[in-house]
Structure 1
Amino acid sequence: MATPLSPTQIQAQLAQLPAWTLKNNRIERIFTFNDFLGSIAFVNQLVGPAEAAGHHPDLCISWNKVTVSLTTHDAGGLTQLDFDLARQFSNL
């Protein structure tokens, strides 16, 4: 099981991911696209990294926006897994 990060560690990690925000013990980012097809295409790109990491985001899909939320449920908070996956998603 992954180890939860301390508040100091979380803030240090967030400083390296400026587009992500901390909300209710999870990190979140809203990705914006031109249309629904762009949103769905992006979601499909998330599958490979998420499966490879064995760690899956919570997603909210709207017409031209995808909200990605990450937390490590079995650790009860944010872990390095969340930040590693956020970095991969940010680079897509």
Structure 2
Amino acid sequence: MVEAGVERVSDGVHTEPTLGEGKTYKLNVVCSGSGSGSVRLAFVPASAGKETEVPCDRSVVQQRITMHERVHIDVDGTRESTGMVAWQIDAL
């Protein structure tokens, strides 16, 4: 495990993990909440990955990250989302 955390959906996740250049990592994101809400997972720069919707139904969404430059990971809730979002980065 490289980095992990749990946040309120309303706070979101905003992190710039220290990852090794040219190495590959796996990001796991899970949202647990009530209603039909979801969170959006995005990377900056966008070339690190595409924006992905994660439903708040306890489904785990995985995204592979290959580092070529510093990356910023953002997970933000949609208007109707409530609950918690957990995330973990693992080296492969």
TM-score (norm 1): 0.35
Q: Which has the higher contact order (CA 8 A, sep 6+)?
A: 2
Q: Write 1 or 2 for the structure with the bigger share of strand.
A: 2
TM-score (norm 2): 0.35
